[in-house]
């Protein structure tokens, strides 16, 4: 009887967890059951049912992730944002309308897609509510489609204030001033305020009081600024809780349950891999992990669930803010790229620095992300150039470097080695198929594939959904 009950229970557990098999050896003594040895080697998810694709910006951000995520979402069940905050600006063009999203995943424009803001994102309540209201104003249904992690950290008014003050100094990084960095600092100092803290006014007040007392000391004594009112913030954030309560859930459980049901999930990163706090051009980086590894920690999904990693690569290079940029063009060519490509930040409006495609940094990004395919964007921006260059190596003190140097002092002094290709001098924005592209355009794409060792599976020749060629 005991044995039959045990066998039945383990069968139920196997079905619930989708475990292929569990091996137990039991010893029966005096009608009691003892575990003698256990083999946990098969205790895992059934990987053949897993279906997560990660979309990663493979450069310094602004590669056009919004468009690609929107387009890929057509055949996806859930799009989940895994890091960053309202410092991201993902642009989606549908027909003659342009939408800019900062927190809500870009899959929201596909009516059958559910969207998740994961625990790895830091949320600005003001920006989030503005975005939700904007989406609703376009007649897009969002209720029942947007889920926000109860473990996501909140950006507080003092985060934005400190961010702005610190960017006024000589050592500024070039942040957006949205409070992202200071919010992540509090997260890793274990003093951050999470969405779940809004549920208990007493707990919220206690945590905020400790934080604000410390921040007021910094603001008044270090920076000579006015101190912050605790009561005002508590009241504001309690009101915020009332507004977002319908969207809050345990998103890690929600996503893992979706995986067990064989749902297709697209993980959307913000910024770019070269701005990753661990693998980017530190200290001129963002405060989180835009690289593919950040998707698992930022969403609470297992690495074994990931089936593909798509790198979004702009056909040339851009960078916003400070930091080394080896292929930067400071003369007329750079200004031409900026003008034709409308290279101004979607979040701040700042002009982006422009340069030729950097294959050295790109190959490094492909490596650390494990990118399996490339979506090449903004290729049409190069239509009018007689010559197009690709950086294929760096030189330092006359020697070719063997790898991408992430320390800024070296990277700031390298000499880019370029290969030059003839431009196609033809409008490609109307091309719908690969065969309709000019031969020189195809050669440029094939050169990128050859140099990178990764296939270009999507080619974007304009901002709209229909201006994309699938290979």
CA dist., res. 138 & res. 101, Å (int): 13
Alpha-helical regions (H) of 29-179: 65-72, 125-137, 157-166
CA dist., res. 73 & res. 153, Å (int): 26
What are the φ and ψ backbone dihedral angles of 187, each rounded to 5 degrees? -60, -45
422 DSSP β-pair partners: 387
| 283 preceded by a cis bond (ω within 30 of 0) | yes
Q: Which residues contact 243 (CB under 8 A, 6 or more apart)?
A: 129
Beta-carbon count within 10 A of 228 CB: 19
Catalytic residue among 20, 23, 30, 62: 62
Joined together, the tokens standing for residue 308 give 């593909």
Catalytic residue among 30, 70, 77, 90: 90
Beta-carbon count within 10 A of 300 CB: 20
CA dist., res. 362 & res. 106, Å (int): 24
Burial environment of residue 401 by CB neighbours within 10 A (0 to 12, 13 to 18, 19 or more): middle
In the residue annotation, 102 being an active-site residue is answered as no
| Residue the block writes with tokens 């719908």 | 432
DSSP 163: H
Joined together, the tokens standing for residue 36 give 């003698």
Residue 156: closest CA among 93, 99, 234: 234
What are the φ and ψ backbone dihedral angles of 467, each rounded to 5 degrees? -95, 55
In the residue annotation, 62 being an active-site residue is answered as yes
Residue 193: closest CA among 209, 206, 205, 207: 207
State the catalytic residues: 62, 90
């Amino acid at each position: 009887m005991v044995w039959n009950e045990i066998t039945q229970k383990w069968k139920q557990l196997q079905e619930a967890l989708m475990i292929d098999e569990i091996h137990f050896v039991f010893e029966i003594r005096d009608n009691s059951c003892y575990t003698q040895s256990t083999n946990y080697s098969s205790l895992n998810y059934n990987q053949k049912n897993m279906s997560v694709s990660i979309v990663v910006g493979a450069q310094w951000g602004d590669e056009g992730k919004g468009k690609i995520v929107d387009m890929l979402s057509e055949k996806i069940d859930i799009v989940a944002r895994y890091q960053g905050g309202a410092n991201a600006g993902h642009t989606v063009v549908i027909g003659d309308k342009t939408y800019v999203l900062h927190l809500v995943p870009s899959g929201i424009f596909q009516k059958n897609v559910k969207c998740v803001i994961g625990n790895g994102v830091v949320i600005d309540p003001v920006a989030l509510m503005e975005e939700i209201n904007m989406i609703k104003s376009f007649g897009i249904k969002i209720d029942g489609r947007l889920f926000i992690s109860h473990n996501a950290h909140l950006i507080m008014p003092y985060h934005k204030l400190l961010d702005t003050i610190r960017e006024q100094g000589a050592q500024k990084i070039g942040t957006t001033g949205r409070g992202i960095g200071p919010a992540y600092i509090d997260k890793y100092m274990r003093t951050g305020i999470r969405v779940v803290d809004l549920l208990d006014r007493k707990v919220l007040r206690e945590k905020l009081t400790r934080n604000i007392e410390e921040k007021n000391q910094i603001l008044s004594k270090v920076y000579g600024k006015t101190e912050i009112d605790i009561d005002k913030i508590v009241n504001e954030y309690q009101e915020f809780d009332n507004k977002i309560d319908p969207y809050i859930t345990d998103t890690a459980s929600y996503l893992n349950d979706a995986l067990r049901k064989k749902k297709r999930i697209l993980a959307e990163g913000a910024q770019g891999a070269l701005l990753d706090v661990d693998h980017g051009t530190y200290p001129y980086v963002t405060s989180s992990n835009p690289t593919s590894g950040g998707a698992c920690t930022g969403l609470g999904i297992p690495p074994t669930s990931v089936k593909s990693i798509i790198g979004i690569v702009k056909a040339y290079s851009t960078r916003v803010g400070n930091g080394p940029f080896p292929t930067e063009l400071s003369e007329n060519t750079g200004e031409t790229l900026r003008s034709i490509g409308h290279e101004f930040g979607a979040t701040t409006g700042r002009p982006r620095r422009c340069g030729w495609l950097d294959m050295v940094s790109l190959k490094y990004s492909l490596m650390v992300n494990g990118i399996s395919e490339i979506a090449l964007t903004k290729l049409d921006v190069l239509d009018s150039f007689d010559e197009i260059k690709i950086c294929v190596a760096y030189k330092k003190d006359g020697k070719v470097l063997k790898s991408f140097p992430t320390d800024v002092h070296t990277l700031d002094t390298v000499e880019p080695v370029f290969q030059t290709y003839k431009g196609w001098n033809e409008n490609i924005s109307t091309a719908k198929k690969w065969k309709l592209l000019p031969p020189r355009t195809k050669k440029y794409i094939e050169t990128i594939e050859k140099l990178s060792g990764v296939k270009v599976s999507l080619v974007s020749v304009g901002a709209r959904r229909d201006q994309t060629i699938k290979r």
